[in-house]
Amino acid sequence: MTDNSLVSVQHLDRHYGELTAVANVSFELEQGEVLGFLGPNGAGKSTTMQIITGNLAPSAGSIKICGIDLTEHPKQAKAEIGFLPEQPPLYRELSVDEYLGFCARLNRIRRNKIQQAVDRVKQRCGLEEVGKRLINNLSKGYQQRVGIAQAVIHSPSIVVLDEPTVGLDPIQIREIRALIRELGKEHGVILSTHILPEVQMTCDRVQIINRGRLVFSDSVSNLNRQRDSRSLLLTLQQPPAETELLTIAEVERVEHLGGGQWRIHHRPDASPATRLAERAVAGHWGLAELSPEYTSLEQIFIDITTSEAGHHEEQAA
Q: Which residues bind another protein (CB under 8 A)?
A: 15-17, 50, 53-57, 59, 74-76, 78-79, 81-83, 85-87, 89-94, 98, 102-103, 105-108, 150
Q: Which is nearer to another protein, 63 or 220 (CB)?
A: 63
Whole-number minimum distance, CB 11 to another protein, in Å?
19
DSSP 27: E
Whole-number minimum distance, CB 150 to another protein, in Å?
7
Q: Which is nearer to another protein, 101 or 141 (CB)?
A: 101
Whole-number minimum distance, CB 118 to another protein, in Å?
14
| Cβ atoms of 39 and 223 closer than 8 Å | no
Whole-number minimum distance, CB 315 to another protein, in Å?
26
Burial of 103: CB neighbours in 10 Å, binned 0-12, 13-18, 19+: buried
HSE-CB for 292 with a 13 A CA cutoff: 16
C-alpha to C-alpha distance for 236 and 108, rounded to whole angstroms: 66
C-alpha to C-alpha distance for 189 and 212, rounded to whole angstroms: 21
Beta strands in 228-286 (DSSP E): 231-236, 251-258, 261-266
CB atoms within 10 A of CB 91: 13
Q: Could you give the angle at the alpha carbon of 139 between the alpha carbons of 138 and 143, nearest 5°?
A: 70
SS3 string of 173-209? Answer: HHHHHHHHHHHHHHCEEEEEECCHHHHHHHCCEEEEE
Q: Which is nearer to another protein, 94 or 195 (CB)?
A: 94
Whole-number minimum distance, CB 221 to another protein, in Å?
31
Q: Which is nearer to another protein, 94 or 248 (CB)?
A: 94
Q: Which is nearer to another protein, 102 or 275 (CB)?
A: 102
Whole-number minimum distance, CB 257 to another protein, in Å?
47
Q: Which is nearer to another protein, 40 or 85 (CB)?
A: 85
